[in-house]
Structure 1
Amino acid sequence: MTSLYEHAGGEEVLHRVEEAFYDKVLADPVLKTQFAERLPDHVDHLTWFTAESFGGPDRFTKQLGFDHIIAVHRNLAITDEQRRRFVELYVEAFEEAGLMDNDAFRAAVRSHAEFGSEVAQQNSHAKTDEELHPIREVPRWTWDGDD
């Protein structure tokens, strides 16, 4: 069975999806406090994370490491509304790229975004390391969800 990464079309396609997603969150009234300005490497980092999570190259782990994603979300105090909107826009970017014709892929993308946003939200409120979500590596997502 092909990986989610292969099904999506690889890194180039995922980069285009993440670019479209990033444009959405930068313009979104609910998320603009979390995404106040365009960061030069953010789309690349999002792409690396998604690619690795979907079964592609482990560039995110090798070049940034999971501690990076924990540090980025610390003290953001992500609200439930922001978490839900993030997932909505993420799925929308995949839909607009024409990648959601397969129901299993659609479900995997949504569950990936839901899980990731829950981890980010928990970490955004953590005052101590003990309050952080226990995951410490990029999750490997499969057609059935978290591997």
Structure 2
Amino acid sequence: MAVNIPTLFEWAGGTPVFENLFNKFYDKVLADELLEPVFKHMSPRHRLHVAHFVAEVFGGPKTYSQNEGSHYAMINKHLQKHLTEAHRKRWIALLLQTADELSLPDDPEFRSAFIAYLEWGTRIAVLNSQTDSTAEPPDTPMPKWGWREPGGPNIP
């Protein structure tokens, strides 16, 4: 008998959960003295773009890559932002606080995968933010993150 293991996206609760998570999260970001200067000029659609990006990475629909951007476009949005380790840590802390407040799954397996992706993705964002160009090709695929991705989504 085949076991149907849900994706991280399904386990979390689907698109409405990710949209609500990032909407509430960015309310916190804009009220935070460290992060507000970085995000105060973000597009009104930024919250949805990030929600759809992360949902897709976790196995959800390809809403982001088919309608809103690409991984290459996301990389480019971070160029020359000069993010710091303090920014990165605060971003993660506020997102995890929001996840707790909204009762996202808190089982060890989900939270391990969720936090692993946040660590991986935010560290890449900080690295990309220190430069004015990327060596990534425009057709760089969207990351795919599952239950066991500690080495990163593109490492065999």
Do Structure 1 and Structure 2 share a fold, with TM-score over 0.5?
Answer: yes
The superposition leaves residues 50-83 of structure 1 with CA deviations (integer Å, 9 ceiling, x where unpaired) of: 1101101112112211222122111000001001
Counterpart amino acid of residue 26 in structure 1: L
> Is it true that 1:119 corresponds to 2:124 in the alignment?
yes
Measured in 2, the distance between the counterparts of 1:58 and 1:28 equals: 31
TM-score normalised per structure 1? 0.90
Between structure 1 and structure 2, the one with the greater Rg is 2
CA RMSD of aligned residues (A): 1.7
Counterpart amino acid of residue 44 in structure 2: P
Within the candidate set 27, 46, 50, 2:31 is matched to 27
Q: After the TM superposition, which residues 1-147 of structure 1 pair with which residues of structure 2 at under 5 Å, given as runs?
A: 1-37=5-41, 39-63=43-67, 64-130=69-135, 136-145=140-149, 146-147=152-153
Unaligned ranges ≥5, structure 2: none
Measured in 2, the distance between the counterparts of 1:41 and 1:138 equals: 19
- 2:23–2:47: 8 Å Cα contact kept in structure 1? yes
Measured in 1, the distance between the counterparts of 2:42 and 2:127 equals: 24
Unaligned ranges ≥5, structure 1: none
Measured in 2, the distance between the counterparts of 1:57 and 1:93 equals: 23
The list of structure 1 runs, each at least 4 consecutive aligned residues, that deviate by more than 6 angstroms after superposition, is: none
- 1:3–1:142: 8 Å Cα contact kept in structure 2? yes
Measured in 2, the distance between the counterparts of 1:13 and 1:129 equals: 32
Between Structure 1 and Structure 2, how many residues are aligned?
144
CA positional deviation for 1:38: 5.1
Counterpart amino acid of residue 134 in structure 2: D
Q: Percent identity?
A: 32
Larger relative helix fraction: 1
